């Protein structure tokens, strides 16, 4: 492997999905190594001693951690194919704003849907739909959040498309396609990209994982 790119990852993790998508968009060959959080590898502990978390990208022996930092690093190291971040500083700040929004809101309320029941779940569903509608407003009539080009915000949001089946199964009377058809159309468009379809975990496998692990204690939280 000419570039010596190794990804320490955990298959259901949306942060890891982003790195896989970004590397595939760039056509970067990489070695994938799955982590076991019950028994973290010495390499993970050495490469990310501060957080001891995946994803970690190890490039030429040097580690880069935190998904937003990793994706920006990938964009800078392999700038020629499919730029993911806009070059204009304002547009770049705007893309980072939406990535931050997705991390804080979509991730949080998405998990709340399967972690709660009753009124709390109803409230999480409403908040999540509000987030999706807000994002739909940002997408507008564009092909991608990045305009004609698939970019950072698309990379940030698309892993959650893999959660839709789980969310709709955990919560009764919940159809994201009915609530936000435009967002589902955008996601389906993204899924036509090999970088995305090859990187997202199977939705049923993800549901089984969440059902088994994410409602208990002491498990890694997605």
Ligand X SMILES: N[C@@H](CCC(=O)N[C@@H](CS)C(=O)NCC(=O)O)C(=O)O
Name the site residues for ligand X (rule: CB under 6 A).
10, 13, 15, 37, 52-55, 66-67, 220, 222
151 neighbors 86 (Cβ within 8 angstroms): yes
Alpha helices (H) in 35-117, listed in sequence order: 42-47, 67-77, 89-101, 107-115
Nearest residue (CB) to ligand X, 107 versus 125:
107
- Is the Cβ of residue 52 or residue 138 nearer to ligand X in the bound state? 52
Question: What are the residue ranges of helices labelled H in the chain?
Answer: 14-26, 42-47, 67-77, 89-101, 107-115, 118-139, 152-157, 164-170, 176-179, 181-191, 194-197, 203-209
Q: By C-beta, is 29 or 34 nearer to ligand X?
A: 34
CA angle 21, 101, 155 (to 5 degrees): 10
Could you tell me the smallest distance in angstroms from the CB atom of residue 8 to ligand X? 9
CB of 39 to ligand X, least distance (A): 11
Least separation in angstroms between CB 14 and ligand X: 9
Position with the least CB separation from ligand X: 53
Count of C-beta atoms within a 10 Å radius of residue 49 = 10
| Smallest gap from residue 42 Cβ to ligand X (A) | 15
Nearer to ligand X, 66 or 138 (CB): 66
| Shortest separation between residue 216's beta carbon and ligand X, angstroms | 14
CA dihedral 180, 24, 200, 86 (to 10 degrees): -30
Between residues 15 and 72, which has the closer beta carbon with respect to ligand X?
A: 15
């Amino acid at each position: 492997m000419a570039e010596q790119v190794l990804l320490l990852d955990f298959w259901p993790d949306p942060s890891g999905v982003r790195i896989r998508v970004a590397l595939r968009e760039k056509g970067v060959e990489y070695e994938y190594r799955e982590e076991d959080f019950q028994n973290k590898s010495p390499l993970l502990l050495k490469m990310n001693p501060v957080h001891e978390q995946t994803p970690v990208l190890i490039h030429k022996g040097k580690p880069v951690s935190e998904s937003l930092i990793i994706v920006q690093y990938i964009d800078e190291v392999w700038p020629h194919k499919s730029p993911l971040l806009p070059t204009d500083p304002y547009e770049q700040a705007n893309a980072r704003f939406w990535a931050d929004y997705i991390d804080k809101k979509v991730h949080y309320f998405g998990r709340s849907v399967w972690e709660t029941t009753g009124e709390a779940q109803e409230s999480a569903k409403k908040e999540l739909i509000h987030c999706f509608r807000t994002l739909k407003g940002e997408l507008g009539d564009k092909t991608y959040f990045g305009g004609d080009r698939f970019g950072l915000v698309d990379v940030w949001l698309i892993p959650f498309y893999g959660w839709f089946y789980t969310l709709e199964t955990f919560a009764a009377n919940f159809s994201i396609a009915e609530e936000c058809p435009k967002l589902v159309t955008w996601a389906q468009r993204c899924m036509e990209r090999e970088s995305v379809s090859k990187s997202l975990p199977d939705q049923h496998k993800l549901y089984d994982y969440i059902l088994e692990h994410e409602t208990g204690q002491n498990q890694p939280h997605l």
